[in-house]
Amino acid sequence: MSREPSNQRVQTHVHEFEASTKLAEEGDDRHNHRFAGVTSEVIPKGNSHVHVIFVNTDFLDHHHEVAIETGPAIPIGDGKHVHFVKGTTTLDDEHVHNLEFTTLIQKPLV
């Protein structure tokens, strides 16, 4: 079994997320999508940090991609935090979906 070198980069935390897009289109075509996953590790930014999200939505007769950067950490007490996310999906099937959600807390059981 090999050991990692002592100068190996230390891993940082990630956040789980699960969310739904806002409704798009009109009439019988009105719909939304769900998506879930895990963020990237920490990306230092200003006095805080952000994470990147790359994920596909669920599939109706099409799907969308979500490629977005979270907002900075929002403290929620006990040394834990969440991140607010706001943006839009990719343009697919001639429409986009807006999205707005928060990540789950990091290390929820620790």
Other Cβ atoms closer than 10 A to 93: 14
Tell me the sheet residues that pair with 92.
95
Q: What is the mean pLDDT of residues 24-50?
A: 96
Q: How far is CA 13 from CA 33, 50, 60, 107, in A?
A: 27, 11, 32, 8
pTM score of the predicted model: 0.88
| Res 5 pLDDT > 60 | no
Q: Which two tokens stand for residue 36?
A: 């879930």
- pLDDT tens digits for 62-93? 999 999 999 999 999 999 999 999 999 999 99
Q: Give the model's pLDDT for residue 109.
A: 83
Q: Which two tokens stand for residue 11?
A: 């891993």
- pLDDT tens digits for 22-32? 999 999 999 99
